[in-house]
Amino acid sequence: SALFSKVRTGLESTRGMLRSLSLSAGSRRMVCDRLRSTSRFFCMDMKKPGDGIGRVVVIGGGSVGSLFSGRIAAIKAMKERVWLLTQWQEHFTAMSEMKGIVVREEGTAGAETMMGAVRPASSAKIIIESRADFARTDPGRFQTVVFLAVKQGQIRQAAEQAAQILHELGGGLCVTLLNGMGHIEVVKNTFKYHDVRAAVVHGLFYGGAHMPGPGMVVHSGAGVLELGFTSHTDDITHALLNDLCELLRLARLPTRLNPNITAAAWEKLIVNASINALTALLHVRNGALPSLPPASLLMHQLCYEAHAVAVAALHAAAPAPGITPNEVSEDVPAMPRPPPSHPLSTSLLDAGPGACLERVLAVAEQTAHNKSSMLQDVLGGKRTEVEAINGFVVAQGERLGVPTPVNRTLLLLLQALHQLSPADIVSE
């Protein structure tokens, strides 16, 4: 506590000194942010693993958001330090009454059930106003991590909420947990517009979860979470990400860092583009596709198109030799790091479309009894995320000159399905 008091006093003195200098407001703020981050880095280094994060905010009260918030809040040190921002009123009420979320492992008879002391919120304002509580109880723990666990159609609103929270609570990390691609740019642009000094982390969750009802989530697939930065960052930000990985490990959410997260995101997109839209249109589970010859042929074509686009996109995005991307202002240079490895240095994309197809078929077999997220959306009368999956393949194909006729056809079919009214559907 004494150390943190001294650090804060020093920061306040530095702010006063900077006001007397002929620097722009933006430059002064960047210097203060760098100093604040440095002080946090030293303080985190003196704490136990996972202790550098004072609060976690999860935006999105669906199955994945509820799983992450419930698991993290079940850690003793994070009790009542985890917020879940949701617009689902029944879920909000259940969490309020139970003072948390019940998390259960699928296939267990209650032995693997835990209660996570999650604090529900219906707006970002409620979370921001809680900072006074944390300042009184534990002034040293001021790192905030925000998870975005929403549908692609909600990403702009969620990014605005994350920007507001991180701006008011002093920055930190923002981790995306969305299907599809294209959302990282939305979040970064939102943060840039609001001058939010927080790093954006691309997350890929390979596990599964479903909700039998409000206030309860079932962990149905013990898949790993991959995290990575899509642009150059400094050592202080990497230290915070390592701290987050340790916290997630304590929450029994296996996590690993992936230096080629963009290539991994393309690999996952190829699988989703080859399976999800077909299951939604045919109203079948994943395992039915390979056994239906016409559907299997469509899977092949969808996969080959998406692979060609992925290879072209990653080659186009590869940095020039010897150039290290740097998004930090020239006023405050980033700490040097080795240049990132080539974006195509992953065995699956390097191995060609045949290897990608084998992965697609393996996933369809491993998840044979699953209903894809798109199928669940169609059955629930909700809009799917096809624009961020097959639609992203089509858009990138147009930009790069790669034809994607099958992906375009499925995109148009699902878009037409979205626009149907009950009166348009023939029942007899």
For residue 392 the two structure tokens come to: 């992203």
Q: What pLDDT, on a 0 to 100 scale, did the predictor assign at position 330? A: 35
pLDDT digits (tens, 9 = 90+) for 196-205: 988 999 999 9
Mean pLDDT of the chain, nearest integer: 82
- C-alpha distance from residue 27 to each of 13, 31, 168, 265 (Å): 17, 6, 19, 34
148: Cβ contacts below 8 Å, ≥ 6 apart: 59, 60, 155, 158, 159, 162, 174, 175, 176, 177, 178, 183, 187
Residues contacting residue 289 through CB under 8 Å, at least 6 positions apart: 275, 278, 279, 282, 295, 296, 299, 364
Look up residue 182 and give its amino acid.
Answer: G
Class of residue 313 by CB neighbours under 10 A (exposed 0-12, middle 13-18, buried 19+): buried
pLDDT value for 415: 96
Q: Which residue has the higher pLDDT, 181 or 140?
A: 181
Higher-pLDDT residue of 7 and 238 is 238
Whether the pLDDT of residue 18 is over 60: the answer is: no
Residues in Cβ contact with 157 at an 8 Å cutoff, skipping those fewer than 6 apart: 150
Share of the chain above pLDDT 90, in %: 57
The two structure tokens encoding residue 7: 């650090």
What confidence tens digit (pLDDT) does each residue in 352-392 have? 899 999 999 999 998 888 889 899 999 988 899 999 999 99
Q: Give the DSSP letter of residue 151.
A: -
Query: What is the pLDDT, as a whole number, of residue 344?
Result: 44
Q: Looking at the predicted structure, is the pLDDT value of residue 290 above 60?
A: yes
**Per-residue pLDDT tens over the stretch 82-127:** 999 999 999 999 999 999 999 988 765 445 788 899 999 999 999 9
**Residue appearing with tokens 């707006």:** 123
Q: Please give the model's pTM, rounded to 2 decimal places.
A: 0.79
Long-range CB pairs of 125-131, under 8 A, 24+ apart, other chains included = 127/57, 127/83, 127/85, 127/165, 127/169, 128/164, 128/165, 128/168, 128/169, 130/55, 130/83, 131/168, 131/169
Q: What is the Cα–Cα distance from 237 to 33, expressed in whole angstroms? A: 12
Looking at per-residue confidence, does 176 or 107 come out higher?
176
- pLDDT surpasses 50 at 131: yes
Q: Which residues pair with 210 in a beta bridge?
A: 218
